[in-house]
Amino acid sequence: MEKTHSSLALSTALGRSRAAFLSVGLFSAVINILMLVPAIYMLQVYDRVLASQNKTTLLMLSLILVGLFLLMAALEYIRGMVLVRCGNQLDMSLNQKIYNASFRANLMGKPVDAVQTLGDLTQLRQFLTGQGLFAFFDAPWFPIYLAVIFLFDPWLGLLALGGAVVLLLLAFFNEKSTAVHLAEASHLSQQAGRVSAGSLRQSEVIEAMGMLPALRQRWLDLQIAFLCKQSHASDKAVAFNAATKTARVALQSFMLGFAALLVIDGSISAGMMIAASILMGRTLAPIEQIVGSWKQWQQARLAYGRLQSLLLNYPDKPERLPLPAPIGQVVIENASACAPGTRNLLLKNIHCTISAGSLVALVGPSGSGKSTLARLLTGIWPASSGCVRLDGADIYQWNKEELGKSVGYLPQEVALFAGTVADNIARFGTPSITGERDAEKIVAAAKLAGVHELILQLPQGYDTPLGEQGAGLSGGQKQRIGLARALYNEPAFVVLDEPNANLDDAGDRALMAALEQLKTRGCTVVFISHRQSLVQQATHILALQNGQLRAFSSMEEIAAQGKKQAPVSTLSYNQPAAVRVQLNNLGDLT
């Protein structure tokens, strides 16, 4: 149901401008009727003014001509302005939906370039406000000019009709010969863009290991394939455009010559001859404009299709009733999970209850599913079966803008964003009404993470600007600032994935102190770590192996079991064999 609703978002946004499009169609009708004015003026000049030698008639005809031209110019201006407003309305209706859908696609493991998708929206908007759309509004009115030519003489009408059929056939074959190549070229262009963007983000690794030639060649192969497809399509389009232009000019000349023959035979007047030539040009002009703008039309159609597919596959989540701030009671109900877009289960039927205020160490060998469980606990990934509940509510269905204030998350790969250190810690929150950031909360989070003194040593302290991905900071500094961000606003539930992976001894001590304070506050914390010193601070241990729950128990129970074989302090959680031996000794704690 959500997908169906979202798939209509694009057509609905266009539908809101239906009245405006009808107005544009009406203006186009009047404008195209006014396009008859030059031909009628020429007809009257040749057949009346020259015959009567009456200057007053010429003056009045000229004044009427000027007035009608001014009206036509005003209508053209209004028509253009209306379409510009329609384009802006379309953009404002869809830009946030498209941005959100691009974000969700990337979250679900389907890389989508937000720049490309917003570029598709720009492409669509520009088509709505460009000359290409005007050609489609004008084209239905060419039968009017054709009918007037038939009124002059049936043979002239048949010549004009034959010329229109020739141009329409050229437009049809132009579409058939270029559509497939343009679609393939567009796909290859997106691939090349993704490869180049993804590769160049890792510039240091590329430079250190001399990977640039190989990666550049990978991008170049796609770029060359794109250029070949586009060139092939463009070559055909250019040939058809040249043929169309030549045919139009030739047909207009043939019309003049044929009309001259009819004048000699006495079938039509000299004024009709000139008017028919002008009307022939007006009859064929919209068709030529359509052929000339066909590439724009195809690109707009492809952009529309991509946006429609994006909005269909990644719809907005429905708005839900706001819930009270959570206290941190977590229940994992027979949760299984796989990476989005795959069917390989990374977690299988995990079931346990984490009481509010618990400090849980999530342990297990590499590849056991710890990071996957962390993503489930924070609602980043959906469970393929079962669910994770926070205070009784499915955390994946919870409104993240509302829930995010009460949740902290530190991933393995810490991502900081362009902005100041304070902006990153405050999660780029909207400033208060006074325009001031909540400095107290920022500093409190930094102190809790033990990074306050480190930040003060930066060139501009909390106002030190950072580049993309936190450029300008070391790995340890990024991790500690990321921890401060996770602890901002005193969250009730915190998930830390390898929070000490890049920390030195001072950072380790600060992290342990932070965990101790969180435990004292009653904050529910789940952290992943292989270091014994950190694990020993936990109140509970949740052990995974091969994606399955191997044990979940309090430290007291583990200590009691450990006395039979080996104390907990001798356990090395980064060694699968040791984990397996210890858990076997612990017995069935699930």
> Is 574 a residue whose pLDDT tops 90?
no
pLDDT of 291-333, one tens digit each? 767 777 877 888 888 888 888 888 777 777 777 888 889 999 9
pLDDT at 524 over 90: yes
Q: Does residue 575 carry a pLDDT above 50? A: no
The predicted pLDDT at position 488 comes to 92
* 335 and 307, same domain (yes or no): no
Q: Is there a domain that residue 147 lies in?
A: yes
Residue pLDDT, tens place only, 355-364: 998 999 999 8
Mean pLDDT for all residues in the chain: 81
Please tell me whether residues 344 and 304 are part of one structural domain. Answer: no
Are residues 180 and 279 both part of a single domain? yes
In the predicted structure, residue 104 carries a pLDDT above the cut 50: yes
Q: Is residue 585 part of a domain?
A: no
Looking at residue 437, its pLDDT comes to 59
Cα 175 versus chain centre, distance: 28
Assess whether 367 and 295 both reside in one domain. no
| Residue 27 lies in domain | 1-313
Assess if residue 319 is contained within a domain. no
Q: Which percentage of the chain shows pLDDT scores above 90? A: 14
Cα 335 versus chain centre, distance: 30
Q: In terms of domains, do 216 and 340 share one? A: no
- How far CA 102 is from CA of 98, 111, 117, 287, 509, in Å, comes to 6, 8, 7, 37, 39
Whether 255 and 269 have beta carbons less than 8 Å apart is answered as no
The sign of the dihedral angle between the CA atoms of 119, 121, 126, 127 is positive
Residue 550 lies in a domain: yes
In a domain, 318, yes or no: no
Same domain membership, residue 357 and residue 306:
no
User: What helix, strand, coil percent values describe the chain, rounded to 5?
Assistant: 65, 10, 25
CA-to-CA distance for 381 and 218, rounded, in angstroms? Answer: 31
**Lowest mean per-residue pLDDT among 109-123, 275-289, 388-402, 498-512:** 109-123
Position 584 pLDDT exceeds 50? no
pLDDT band at 432 (very low <50, low <70, confident <90, very high): very low
Share above pLDDT 70 across residues of the chain, in percent, rounded to a whole number: 89
| Average pLDDT of the segment spanning 62-80 | 90
CATH number at residue 352: 3.40.50.300
Question: Hey, is 354 helix, strand or coil?
Answer: strand
In a shared domain, residues 250 and 397 = no
Residue 539 in this model has a pLDDT that exceeds 70: yes
Structural domain contains residue 575: no
Q: How far apart are CA 438 and CA 440, in angstroms?
A: 6
Average of pLDDT values for 35-55? 83
Residue after which a domain boundary falls, among 279, 313, 347? 313
Paired tokens of 77: 């201006």
Asked if pLDDT for residue 566 goes beyond 70, the answer is: no
What pLDDT does 301 receive?
Answer: 83
Write out pLDDT tens, residues 385-410.
999 999 888 898 888 888 888 899 99
What is the rounded average pLDDT of the residues 231-236?
80
Q: Which H/E stretch holds residue 66?
A: helix 55-107
Does position 7 have pLDDT exceeding 50, yes or no?
A: no
Least confident of 20-29, 334-343, 357-366, 568-577: 568-577
Which of residues 584 and 467 earns the better pLDDT score?
A: 467
Question: Residue 339: which of 381, 380, 378 has the closest Cα?
Answer: 381
Task: Indicate whether 3 belongs to any domain.
Answer: yes
359: β partners: 525
The CATH number of residue 53's host domain is 1.20.1560.10
Give the pLDDT band (50/70/90) at residue 17: confident
Tell me: do 151 and 251 sit in the same domain: yes
Structure tokens at 74: 């005003």
- Looking at the fold, whether 307 and 336 belong to one and the same domain comes out as no
Where is 308: in which H helix or E strand?
A: helix 294-313
Residues 464-488 have a mean pLDDT of 85
Same domain, 140 and 176: yes
Give the pLDDT score at 567.
Answer: 42
Q: Which residues pair with 541 in a beta bridge?
A: 361, 553
Structurally, how many domains does the chain consist of? 2
Q: How far is CA 155 from CA 149, 255, 271, in A?
A: 9, 10, 17
Confidence of residue 2 (pLDDT cuts 50, 70, 90): very low
Q: Same domain, yes or no, for 134 and 199?
A: yes
Where a domain ends, among 284, 313, 342? 313
Same domain membership, residue 383 and residue 283: no
Q: Is the pTM of this model over 0.85?
A: no
Q: pLDDT tens for residues 135-148?
A: 777 777 778 888 88
The pLDDT tens digits for 253-273 are 888 888 888 888 888 888 888
Give a yes or no: residue 567 inside a domain: no
Q: Which residue has the higher pLDDT, 6 or 93?
A: 93
CB 277 within 8 A of CB 260: no
